[in-house]
Amino acid sequence: MTIPWCNIKIMNILDNVTESQKEAITHVEGPLLVIAGAGSGKTRVITRRVGYLVEQGTDPSNILSITFTNKAANEMKDRLGEFLDLRGMWISTFHAMCSRILRSEIEHLEFTRNFSIYDSGDQAKCIKDIMKELKLDTDHWRPSAVAASISNAKNELLSAEEFAEYKSGYYNDVVSKVYTKYQKYLEANNALDFDDLLFKVVHLFKKFPDVLEKYQEKFRYILIDEYQDTNHAQYAITQLLAQRYENICATGDPDQSIYGWRGANIRNILNFEKDYPDTKTVRLEQNYRSTKNILHVASEIINNNLSRKPKSLWTENSEGSKARIIHCEDENVESKEIASNISEFVRSGNRHSDIAVFYRTNAQSRVLETRMLREGIPYSIVGSVAFFKRKEIKDILSYLKLCANPDDDLSLERVVNVPARGIGATTIRRLREWAMLDNTNMSGAISRVNEIQEIKGKSSKAVKGFGDIISELHKIPTYPVMGFVKEVIDKVGYADYLVLSYEGDSEERLENIEELVTAASEYDASNPDGSLQGFLEEVSLIADIDKWDDAADTVTLMTLHAAKGLEFPVVFMAGLEEGLLPHSQSKDSDDDVEEERRLCYVGITRAQKDLFLIHTRYRSKFGQRSACVPSRFLSEIPVDFVEEIDKTIYNSYADKLRTEPVTGYRDSADEDDYQYDAGGDDYDELPVFQIDEPQESIKLVSGDIVKHEIFGRGRVVKIAPSSDTVHVDFNRVGMKKLALEYANLEKVEGSCR
């Protein structure tokens, strides 16, 4: 029998695969767990498993394949497209899948299908505005911290009402108030944030069993990649979809679970066999990427973790060069050594694109970038200002969103006076207030501006002019999208606005606008049945790594979190110091330290041939030179597997590393001595308070009011029996566990909260 959607033979699917890979590929019915070590050919297994399912008679439309990034999804589509007709098959990220489901089903939840998707920047503005409305001091209560708390609540599937009921404490009371108003704002604007995409699908499936059944029948075979990085909401969606047929294949590696800071739960993969008792488990342990020496280094480090599934990576590759540990005096020497070695590799015939430099926080990139520029080394950086977050791009996208969703007040307020039309903050406030009183949106208020007594004369005329522009845009066909984007840019006079307003860099901004038009053109070419809403959805779900150009001949600079899933012949890992890797914020939790060790493991296993592990003796932070202690992870590597290079002033630091292995954090730094940057998300930077010596012992009891240089005022909640740690509930940031000797707390009079 000929299968119309398949033109591949079974013998081709199983060519050049190991027995373990074959075992995973040919398992059809029932749950399957594939523990895939780094570089073990996981992508090959997933794609060929899909091909095998189709060859066995499965309709591609009954297969759901979930990847962790859009980049991975596109790569899988390209690979499968070589031998399969993919029409009807869903290959996407969790967020893209949920967005697609909601476009069809969200009317069950009293939203309309043209809902807007708010990115992190939109969310931040909303929350900041709401906090001001509630008269909450945004210097005292950090909007980014409140946003993170709301995001965590949604990932744990707690609604605003449930959060208010189950979470106690003054800080959580503040979050609850903001969360409640924030959700009402989203509903009024017919908008969802990224977390809502998952949250609403779970709610939809639980509240409407017929809708759930529809998708259970559609997705009879489910493949989830990077299962170790799923959060609770993603776990719940998977459970609901798979509960009818249990034909679920989860692939992943507990040793590469590195996203706990944004809700990922390693227990999801560790407990998979408990969730599905009939699970067949296959381990992929042969590594095709790295040399034996690199694998030895990685294994010696990760074997110190307890929360993992046992596996032993091996390779038929050569021994290769030993990993090099470079001991540097400071970050300037560090950057110089990296640049010098890069130049040497290029002179010996390597391409710049063969080389990557990883670091724990984005703040570390500045010195590295400066050095690259000075030495004339071409580089690209993942995690800089993302294209779709640039001001001029956000402006045009806001016009497009407003055309697609007239209820989107956030987009309207962004562009109502861009370009300048004489519509000031007072007029906008009056429009907003009138809209609230009339139970309408800002677009409704603008269309009836003649009825608003507080807005007269030139202001009224300006508002009416903006309304006329939007009305004109609504008359233009929105597909093809490229044509519509060009019309929007022309109708609002945006190019002229850039030239007049940004004399110094207008050319670059105009080029960005041209690139947006190109993106729309590419969307049209790939989506013959596309729409403006589809284009907006696609760009809203793009991550930094999705736009990384791996074809460019440049050295890649990126955080360790961004490096997940990539590989390079040569890898430099900078900043292997206590407080950076492992990060200072992990020091109070064994689980967090284990995640930091996994992050180190991920970085090491990106290397194919050459690996450099670098730390400094001193590092400057906020203008202060601070002593550093080598990362404990370096002391976990047997000396036989590494070559040590000492670039410190006295050439004595290498010996110290081996004779005094590190088991704790350096004494000279507070827990927020380094900026926290978990993979490039938008976190507020805290000022650094440097402590060179332990403070004299301070006598504290529960209930005392104290002041911290960074965290501000707080109340002592608990003191450890040993009296070496203290738990303080701070007004700004909630509960913190501090080392009493180094916290530099000041006992103060008065009250807290």
**Residues classed as catalytic:** 42-43, 225-226, 256, 606
Cα Rg, the chain, nearest whole Å? 28
- Both tokens of 627, joined, read 């002593």
Count other C-beta atoms under 10 Å from residue 639's C-beta.
12
Closest of 302, 326, 293, 290 to residue 575, by C-alpha: 326
In order, the DSSP letters of 498-567 are: HHHH-TTTHHHHHHHHHHHHHHHHHHHHH-TT--HHHHHHHHHT--GGGG--TTS-SEEEEETTTTTT--
CA dist 429 to 434, 439, 455, Å?
9, 15, 10
Q: Residue 675 and residue 671: Cα distance in Å, rounded?
A: 10
Q: Residue 428 and residue 274: Cα distance in Å, rounded?
A: 56
Q: Residue 534 and residue 514: Cα distance in Å, rounded?
A: 20
- Both tokens of 543, joined, read 């991550």
Q: Residue 494 and residue 421: Cα distance in Å, rounded?
A: 12
Q: Residue 154 and residue 231: Cα distance in Å, rounded?
A: 10
Count other C-beta atoms under 10 Å from residue 62's C-beta.
19
Residues 6+ apart with CB under 8 A from 435: 409, 441, 442, 444, 445
Q: Residue 565 and residue 41: Cα distance in Å, rounded?
A: 11
CA 248 to chain centre: 25
Plot region of 628 (φ>0 → left; ψ -120 to 50 → alpha; else → beta): beta
Closest of 728, 684, 682, 679 to residue 261, by C-alpha: 679
Peptide bond into 480 cis (omega under 30): yes
Angle at 750 between CA 745 and CA 752, to 5 degrees: 70
Count other C-beta atoms under 10 Å from residue 30's C-beta.
14
Q: Tell me 151's DSSP state.
A: H
Closest of 114, 71, 61 to residue 92, by C-alpha: 71
Q: Tell me 66's DSSP state.
A: E
